[in-house]
């Protein structure tokens, strides 16, 4: 029977690895060698990575790629992307080149407000709670003066606090809804620190308030929200229909098929999920490369896709006055200072590659990456089909699984230029070569 480990986090890195090897790999030296292969040879750099999180035993590498030729608001960018899916970077680069010749991408930040909530249980008279909040609101704001001093000096900080009655959703449930401007910081730690201080001040003041008698409000939890529908960016492209011809498909036909594909994603949730996943291929890749929290972005974006009460497409496509317009509106809480931005060498490289953007500029770039990815996917779907390009990009993964030599890879790539790629077809081709 397996025995739980005690004090694992207090063990040294070597001790953790030895325990894992013994408990799960029968002391197989290859398991330990695999971990060591991915250690950085620069000791200081490895120590930096070890400090990013808990119980580090190695590094898990993902490819760091770039997609050039993104013209955004008349500025040319090469966008860094961290992703393992073979076709994503190629598709983004292809879309960037396509729109470079048609005026490029446009993007604008609509709003940058972020929020956090202090969730309260109160089973007394709601009017009494409202009266107390009105009396104590300024004290709550003053209580975070030290925390937000530097943020306010830069033009950010707490915007407002509202008391919201949510008892219609949950018995006895109220919340203090706090809005913030965090400028170039993503702001999670700042917001959470403010919320916890406000909550403590609220509870202390409540103990002294005569109106509550024996029924006091109780703080349940205080936390920022990753749903940021007030921190939104819009990106779009457009051109005359005649400029949209692709392969054997004329511009008008292509545009009509494209719009129909978007309409299907707006109408059918099963299609919408896959449609939006493709958008997130582009968004997540840039979010990861720039050291931002892709999990927070994912959660907020998918919630935004369901803001109407029904999950639907994040992108829109229209034909008006013989012109085609394709756009996205997406919530993105991003930062270019704080977190890993000044610690991770590749994050620093990525931000420098992007011309050291502000958080607003990064929002635009990320939204464009999502839009470009979606354009490339829909274009393939309504013309050649998604698998033709995807499987050709996936061919190298198959060849590596088969441990193909450089010569075998070269011959396989040449063969599959005009033949359909599948795993079985690749296996058969390599076996024939070796025979």
Instruction: Give phi and psi for 404, each to the nearest 5.
Output: -70, 145
Please confirm, yes or no, whether 360 is among the known catalytic residues: no
CA dihedral 169, 173, 176, 180 (to 10 degrees): -40
Give the ranges where 154-250 is alpha helix by DSSP (H). 188-207
Q: With beta carbons less than 8 A apart as the criterion, state whether 326 and 102 touch.
A: no
Q: With beta carbons less than 8 A apart as the criterion, state whether 208 and 78 touch.
A: no
Q: With beta carbons less than 8 A apart as the criterion, state whether 335 and 185 touch.
A: yes
3-class secondary-structure state, position 246: strand
Catalytic residue among 13, 18, 50, 85: 85
CA gap 72, 77 in Å, rounded: 7
DSSP symbols for 316-359: EEEEETTEEEEEEEEE----SBSTTTTT-HHHHHHHHHTTS--H
Chain center to CA of 51: 23
Give the ranges where 53-121 is alpha helix by DSSP (H). 88-100
- Closest by CA position to 396, among listed 408, 388, 386, 384: 408
CA gap 268, 277 in Å, rounded: 14
Q: How many CB atoms lie within 10 A of CB 4?
A: 5
Q: Over the range 171-185, which residues count as b (16 or more CB within 10 Å of their CB) and which as e?
A: eebbbbbbebbbbbb
CA dihedral over 223, 226, 232, 233, signed as positive or negative? positive
Pairing of strands 173-181, 218-224: unpaired
Please confirm, yes or no, whether 85 is among the known catalytic residues: yes
Residue 330, burial from CB neighbour count under 10 angstroms (0-12, 13-18, 19+): buried
Please confirm, yes or no, whether 18 is among the known catalytic residues: no
Catalytic residue among 149, 277, 307, 356: 277
Instruction: Find the helix or strand (DSSP H, E) in which 49 lies.
Output: helix 43-50
Please confirm, yes or no, whether 293 is among the known catalytic residues: yes
- Closest by CA position to 323, among listed 237, 236, 241: 241
The residues that are catalytic are 85, 277, 293, 390
């Amino acid at each position: 029977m397996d025995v739980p480990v005690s004090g694992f986090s207090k063990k040294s890195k070597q001790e953790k690895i030895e325990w894992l090897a013994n408990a799960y790999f029968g002391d197989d030296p290859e398991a330990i060698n695999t971990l060591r292969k991915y250690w950085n040879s620069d000791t200081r750099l490895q120590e930096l990575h070890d400090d990013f999180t808990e119980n580090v035993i190695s590094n898990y590498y993902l490819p760091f790629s770039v997609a050039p030729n993104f013209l955004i608001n008349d500025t040319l960018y090469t966008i860094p992307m961290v992703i393992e899916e073979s076709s994503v970077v190629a598709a983004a680069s292809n879309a960037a080149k396509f729109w470079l010749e048609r005026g490029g991408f446009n993007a604008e930040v609509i709003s940058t407000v972020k929020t956090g909530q202090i969730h309260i249980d109160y089973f007394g008279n709601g009017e009494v709670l409202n009266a107390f909040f009105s009396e104590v609101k300024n004290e709550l704001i003053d209580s975070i003066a030290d925390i937000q001093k530097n943020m306010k000096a830069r033009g950010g900080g707490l915007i407002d606090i509202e008391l919201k009655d949510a008892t219609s959703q949950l018995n006895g449930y109220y919340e203090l809804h706090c809005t913030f401007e965090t400028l170039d910081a993503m702001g999670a730690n700042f917001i959470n620190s403010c919320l916890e201080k406000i909550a403590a001040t609220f509870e202390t003041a409540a103990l002294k308030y005569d109106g509550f008698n024996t029924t006091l409000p109780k703080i349940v939890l205080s936390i920022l929200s990753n749903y940021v529908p007030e921190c939104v960016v819009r990106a779009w492209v457009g051109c005359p229909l005649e400029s949209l011809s692709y392969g054997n498909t004329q511009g008008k036909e292509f545009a009509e098929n494209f719009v129909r594909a978007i309409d299907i994603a707006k109408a059918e949730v099963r299609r919408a999920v896959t449609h939006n996943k493709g958008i997130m291929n582009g968004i997540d890749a840039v979010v990861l490369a720039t050291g931002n929290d892709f999990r927070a972005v994912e959660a907020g974006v998918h919630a935004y896709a369901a803001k109407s009460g029904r999950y639907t497409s994040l992108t829109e496509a229209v034909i008006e006055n013989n012109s085609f317009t394709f756009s996205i509106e997406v919530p993105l809480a991003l930062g270019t200072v704080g977190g890993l931005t000044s610690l991770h060498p590749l994050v620093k490289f990525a931000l420098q590659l992007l011309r050291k953007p502000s958080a607003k500029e990064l929002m635009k770039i990320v939204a464009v990456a999502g839009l470009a990815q979606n354009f490339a996917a829909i274009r393939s779907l309504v013309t050649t089909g998604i698998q033709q390009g995807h499987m050709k990009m996936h061919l190298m993964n198959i060849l590596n699984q088969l441990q193909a030599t450089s010569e075998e890879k070269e011959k396989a790539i040449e063969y599959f230029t005009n033949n359909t790629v599948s795993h079985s077809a690749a296996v058969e081709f390599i076996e024939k070569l070796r025979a």
